[in-house]
Structure 1
């Protein structure tokens, strides 16, 4: 019964020391890699973040994994994310693979049924996004866009707007 709660002080001391060192190492690597690593997440960023958390837990709790191995794993994950995001900024095809593209779900007051089905979004979710934006009438909405990070953007109709923020969103044809 005693082994369930306490094995020995040496194991606790290792967990404490390795935990602090691994955490500090991860924070330093994240700071070196730049703000993009900690930015608003798309699906790719979420996977990397979960993998970093899992790696941190493994380094802290598994006595068979050294701090050097954990540091290498952190550096590999952050380095791969850096390479992919660097590439996605420079090559549109990489960006489309990694982050996808925003999807137009409502345009000029009309729900786009095919787009809703393709994005697996209900009309109720779009209407909730419109309400969250403080609007009541769908006719007052120029567009609702499902962004690449999974959030909804609601764009109000503005007469005479010259530059549209919808330029990178595929319009209904």
Structure 2
């Protein structure tokens, strides 16, 4: 029993190469699937992710069921992913190549023709994202775009945006200055009436 836990049953280099190859394959598949696949995982997407992990499991572990073999595979995945993430953070060209570029879906309150269809994005998903970001409908949106990581970013038209704390603080300061001015005018009028 202990032997099966700690003895790696395939060469360690093969284990690492298998893990890196499967990582690269999954990266390419997700890149080809597009941004929409990352935008919001629905039930079907979750089924695919669960099945995908099961399908590639044997490609990573091979004929090795040892604890040490699994540990080597897990560490390899983490190291490779960390390296790729750092590379993408430093190299904008690599980020464009591997992640893609944002796609504008709404401009000046109107849908960009064909953008939703190209991304396989349903209008209800776009409407939901707009409501989550305090808009009522597409006409409230200055610009909306689907980022390479699958996030739908919505910029509301200036008139449709909610007040910020800074806006409220500015109004409070203006009201205080108006109150001071009114108090000064009232004192001046009171002083003139006594003459």
Q: TM-score, normalised by structure 1?
A: 0.51
Which structure would you say has the larger RCO, counting Cα contacts within 8 Å and 6 or more residues apart? 2
2:134 aligns with 134
Equivalents in 2 of 1:121, 1:71: separation in Å?
38
Distance 1:91 1:63, change over 3 A: closer
1:156 aligns with 156
Equivalents in 2 of 1:103, 1:87: separation in Å?
23
Equivalents in 1 of 2:102, 2:128: separation in Å?
18
The number of equivalent residue pairs is 112
Deviations 1:29-77 (A, max 9, x none): xxxxxxxxxxxxxx57x9xx97xx76xx88xxx9952222112111211
2:144 aligns with 144
Q: Deviation of residue 110 (structure 1)?
A: 1.0
Deviations 1:60-114 (A, max 9, x none): xx99522221121112111111121111112222212322222110011010022
SS in 2 for 1:106: strand
Question: Are 1:113 and 2:150 an aligned pair?
Answer: no
Deviations 1:12-39 (A, max 9, x none): xx8xxx7xxxxxxxxxxxxxxxxxxxxx
SS in 2 for 1:154: strand
**Counterpart contact for 2:89–2:95, Cα < 8 Å:** yes
* Runs of 5+ consecutive residues of structure 1 not aligned to the other structure: 1-9, 19-42, 160-173
Equivalents in 1 of 2:63, 2:135: separation in Å?
55
SS in 1 for 2:158: coil
2:98 aligns with 98
RMSD of equivalent CA atoms:
3.4
The correspondence of residues 79-94 of structure 1 with structure 2, limited to 5 A, is 79-94=79-94
SS in 2 for 1:155: strand
Greater share of helix? 2
Greater C-alpha radius of gyration: 2
* Runs of 5+ consecutive residues of structure 2 not aligned to the other structure: 6-29, 32-37, 39-48, 160-195
**Counterpart contact for 1:111–1:123, Cα < 8 Å:** no
SS in 2 for 1:97: helix
